[in-house]
Amino acid sequence: MIFHLRSSRPVERSKVRGLFLKGVVFRFFIFFLVGLIVGFTPIPIVDQSKNNLSRHGAFSFHEPVIGKFQTSINSVDNDILLTQKSLPKGHINLEASMKLEMENKTLNASHSLYSSHDFALVSSKLLIIVTPTYSRPFQSFYLNRLAQTLRNVPHPLLWIVVEMSLQSDETVKILRDTGVMYRHLVGDHNVTSVKDTVIQLRNVALYHIERHQLDGIVLFADDDKIYSLGLFDKMVEIRRFGTWPVAVLTEDKKRALFEGPVCKGREIVGWHTHQTRLSRRFQIDMSGFAFNSTILWDPKRWHRPNIDLIRLHDSVRVGFQESKFVEQLVEDESQMEGLSENCSRILVWHLHLEAPQLLYPSGWLFERNLEDLIPLML
């Protein structure tokens, strides 16, 4: 009997080859699955530019409400200068617009970023300081004095400075040297009187806040007034509308007058005034109140009865501008709050230092040396 033996090697080889292929496929599947999970896992990235709102991040932005559209963004840190002038109405520099919108998002989100990192050093609300300015003898002194105050205010703070027609070189230099976050706006209106100029400049700032939906507390800080640092500490407590007394030195420098609220606690119960002949609804100074900027662009939040634009009007009589503007923000004193306990602290002073007839050199620069009045004794 003859037996035929068949070799088992081909069978063993096929089994090993099959196991090897299964192992390769299994490993490939595992690595693919791990890679897929890692790829879709969000990795937290800390954006230092948002968590550190630099005092030196200065920007300038031209934005007239009507007429020619001019826009420029000037970043001191990055030496970027983008200008676009004499464009038809409705055109805009796209790159400049994108940069500005990014800054708006940073400003509007800054209160949450700061409050989550350092409660003690920074405020939780963006303070929007609006300052109209124009060429006159004390302009440089006024702006420098106000800048020195604002640079000591905790972040976040945005200083909106508005000029008529163009950005003067003198104002640009002052703003760049302040170390304060600012926007430099330009109005484009044909006005002759100082009163109408200031009204239009404030309206340019209101339009800018409304258009870019800046979220914060707005203060009209005229450059010829003096502001206590305590004012800005109190402003972050404002929910809708806050007010405080303003001390006014008479032009003859003989008396100090008060204008603003009389309070019981933080409740408004009356008004100080030195203009009893004016039957104004609210006896208030333009730098004697601040308000939530969302009133300008979110009427539903505040249950405003109409959606008319909130603006100052040059047709209103002198002395009534402040009251008429406030009437657009609140219905009565119940929607106001006194800023300090019993409104007993003076936080703003108005000193009449202006000298209209004073002659001064253009740009405050002397082209030649002054004549020696007392020569040196050699």
The answer to whether 187 and 64 are in contact (CB under 8 A) is yes
Q: How far apart are CA 339 and CA 249, in angstroms?
A: 22
CB under 8 Å to 193, separation ≥6 — which residues? Answer: none
Q: pLDDT class for 357, splitting at 50, 70, 90?
A: low
CB under 8 Å to 268, separation ≥6 — which residues? Answer: 243, 261, 262, 333, 336, 337, 338
pLDDT of residue 22: 74
Q: Which helix (H) or strand (E) holds 249?
A: strand 246-249
Tell me the per-residue pLDDT of 225-236, one tens digit each, with 9 for 90 and over: 999 999 999 999
Tell me the per-residue pLDDT of 207-218, one tens digit each, with 9 for 90 and over: 999 999 999 999
Q: How far apart are CA 284 and CA 241, in angstroms?
A: 13
pLDDT higher than threshold 60 for residue 71: no
| Active-site residue, 322 included | yes
pLDDT higher than threshold 90 for residue 136: no
CB neighbours of residue 240 within 10 Å: 16
The answer to whether 73 and 60 are in contact (CB under 8 A) is yes
Catalytic residue among 63, 163, 210, 322: 322
Q: Are strands 69-75 and 80-87 parallel, antiparallel or unpaired?
A: antiparallel
pLDDT of residue 273: 83
Q: Residue written as tokens 């509007």?
A: 108
> Which range (28-42, 167-181, 231-245) has the least confidence?
28-42
State the average pLDDT over residues 271-289.
86
Q: Considering only CA atoms, give the Rg of the chain.
A: 31
Report field, pTM of the whole predicted structure over 0.75: no
pLDDT of residue 336: 97
Angle at 159 between CA 158 and CA 164, to 5 degrees: 140
Phi-psi region of 74 (alpha: psi -120 to 50; beta: other; left: phi over 0): beta
Share of the chain residues as helix, strand and coil, in percent rounded to the nearest 5: 35, 20, 45
Q: How far apart are CA 324 and CA 311, in angstroms?
A: 10
Which one is predicted more confidently, 9 or 249?
249
Alpha helix (H) residue ranges in the chain: 9-40, 48-51, 94-117, 139-150, 169-178, 194-211, 229-235, 294-297, 321-326
Q: Is the peptide bond before 137 cis (omega within 30 degrees of 0)?
A: no
Angle at 206 between CA 203 and CA 212, to 5 degrees: 140
**How many Cα atoms are found within 13 Å in the side-chain-facing hemisphere of 237?**
14
**Bridge partners, residue 43, by sequence:** none
pLDDT of residue 364: 59
> Which range (8-17, 106-115, 263-272) has the least confidence?
106-115
pLDDT of residue 17: 67
Percent of the chain with pLDDT over 70: 65
Selection from 62, 79, 81, 203 nearest residue 130 by Cα: 203
Tell me the per-residue pLDDT of 308-337, one tens digit each, with 9 for 90 and over: 899 999 889 888 999 999 999 999 999 999
Distances in Å between the alpha carbon of 271 and those of 188, 258, 281, 339, 350? 36, 10, 10, 14, 18
Q: pLDDT class for 352, splitting at 50, 70, 90?
A: confident
Distances in Å between the alpha carbon of 351 and those of 147, 225, 253? 17, 7, 8
Selection from 138, 142, 143, 135 nearest residue 159 by Cα: 143
Q: pLDDT class for 256, splitting at 50, 70, 90?
A: confident
Torsion sign, CA atoms 89, 94, 100, 106: positive
Q: pLDDT class for 102, splitting at 50, 70, 90?
A: low
